[in-house]
Structure 1
Amino acid sequence: MNGVLADKLTDDGSSTPAGLVAAAVAHAFALFVAVSIAANISGGHVNPAVTFGALVGGHITFFRSILYWIAQLLGSVVACLLLKFATGGLTTSAFSLSSGVSVWNALVFEIVMTFGLVYTVYATAIDPKKGNIGIIAPIAIGFIVGANILVGGAFDGASMNPAVSFGPAVVSWTWSNHWVYWLGPFIGAAIAAIVYSIFYLIPTTHEQLPTTDY
């Protein structure tokens, strides 16, 4: 929906500076709200890559991850279908690479951007030592996504979220280079989980970190 609104506001210029800023701000605040309202229910999982990162770090069970992935993908498809119906046929275009951007360029972009996102999730929401910083987790997560869109949006759309890519791909039935928007985020999420866990979550002799269903 944010993508459709950005196109309308900028006369189909979502790749222009104004369109990119509009998309980044819209996504940042929308994600802030989405994580906030779901944080006490499911941990605020709206992204399969974030769920995968939590799984790699041992903070969520595999069974719960499967349920979250199903819900996230179904939610994305239903949202895109409702958007298409409500707007008289308009829908968010499937993610695609900009001219001159190869699949390997895009893959690296998605890895790096999702690393930043999942690292932020670990630092502000998962880490049991987060203390009062956990209060700002939703807005921190929203802001890192907005910042990443400003950086990578002009190159490959800056997905960082396989569900965000999946819904538009299904509704428009456009699957060109779709694998990039799965592999990149999952690799970035796994690296972030491993790095954060090794450097900040290794329990000492007198401390055992709990396993949570974030």
Structure 2
Amino acid sequence: MPISRISVGTPEEVRHPNTLKAGLAEFISTLIFVFAGQGSGMAFAKLTAGAAATPAGLVAASIAHGFALFVAVSVGANISGGHVNPAVTFGAFLGGNISLLNSLVYWVAQLAGSSVACLLLKFATGGLETSAFALAEDVTVWNALVFEIVMTFGLVYTVYATAVDPKKGDIGTIAPLAIGLIVAANILVGGAFTGASMNPAVSFGPALISWNWSSHWVYWAGPLIGGGLAGLFYEFIFIGGQEAPAADYQRLSA
């Protein structure tokens, strides 16, 4: 069962070259993802005189994030598993697929990658604001929390079904595409309400660089709850007593 496989890890494990390489891969993948996703919103706002919050802007954000995540997961898959998201890492931890200490390495790398991406965008655009995620005017924090929980549950469930499940077979080859598509679809659903983060790192970088922490806790609590629930649910119900996943996600415990 997944609970019995949960591991804290050891300091030696954290210092292992494979763990350090995995952390670097997560940093680069998250930087690629946030630079393209956040940058697309900034570019659209510039081209439309600040009218990014339009149906066309939402579609543009959906496409940019879907494509960018597809690439980011693909380039990191063989090194770190291509999490690119603290909520995915948390779901993998609760499922017993990565140790706690390794998870912390991933989190630091993901948050740093997002922050550096936003710094680069701010510099490259001549000081344009890297807008922090924000709730729509008629959306409460509790509405937003439910949105982020459900959307991230769908994302991490997709990760488990296509990349973690030892029975995944040939469907594992389309895991990055499936993961990118569910994020793109969720942005079309939740983008107008919460911005559809589903990823604490994606929210952290813009909030840090713009120093805007309004309702920021929602973008941590929602994704972590949703990702954790998805990891536990899939492990208990569909993987159960099978052997721990081999290949990509077993590699995370260096």
Give TM-score scaled by structure 2 length: 0.81
Displacement of 1:6 in angstroms is 2.9
Displacement of 1:210 in angstroms is 4.2
Paired AA for residue 124 in structure 2? A
Paired AA for residue 56 in structure 1? L
CA contact (8 A) 1:73 1:166 kept: yes
Quick one: structure 1 residues 9 and 133, their matched pair in 2 at CA, closer, same or farther if it must change by over 3 Å?
farther
Out of 243, 247, 250, the residue aligned to residue 208 of structure 1 is 243
Out of 223, 226, 251, the residue aligned to residue 188 of structure 1 is 226
1:132 and 2:163 aligned: no
Structure 1 match to 2:66: 28
Displacement of 1:8 in angstroms is 2.7
Structure 1 match to 2:184: 146
Quick one: structure 1 residues 45 and 144, their matched pair in 2 at CA, closer, same or farther if it must change by over 3 Å?
same
Structure 2 match to 1:97: 135
1:122 and 2:160 aligned: yes
Please identify, of 147-156 and 2-11, the stretch whose mean Cα deviation from structure 2 is larger: 2-11
Out of 56, 59, 67, the residue aligned to residue 97 of structure 2 is 59
Structure 2 match to 1:39: 77
CA distance in 2, matches of 1:119, 1:186: 13
Structure 1 match to 2:199: 161
Out of 213, 217, 227, the residue aligned to residue 175 of structure 1 is 213
CA contact (8 A) 1:80 1:91 kept: no
Displacement of 1:208 in angstroms is 2.7
Displacement of 1:138 in angstroms is 0.3
- Cα RMSD between the aligned structures? 1.2
Paired AA for residue 186 in structure 2? N
Displacement of 1:2 in angstroms is 2.5
Out of 54, 58, 64, the residue aligned to residue 16 of structure 1 is 54
CA contact (8 A) 2:41 2:57 kept: no
| Corresponding residue SS for 2:197 | coil
| Corresponding residue SS for 1:33 | helix
Alignment coverage as a number of residue pairs = 211
CA contact (8 A) 2:58 2:191 kept: yes
Structure 1 match to 2:6: none
CA distance in 2, matches of 1:73, 1:173: 15
CA distance in 2, matches of 1:124, 1:14: 33
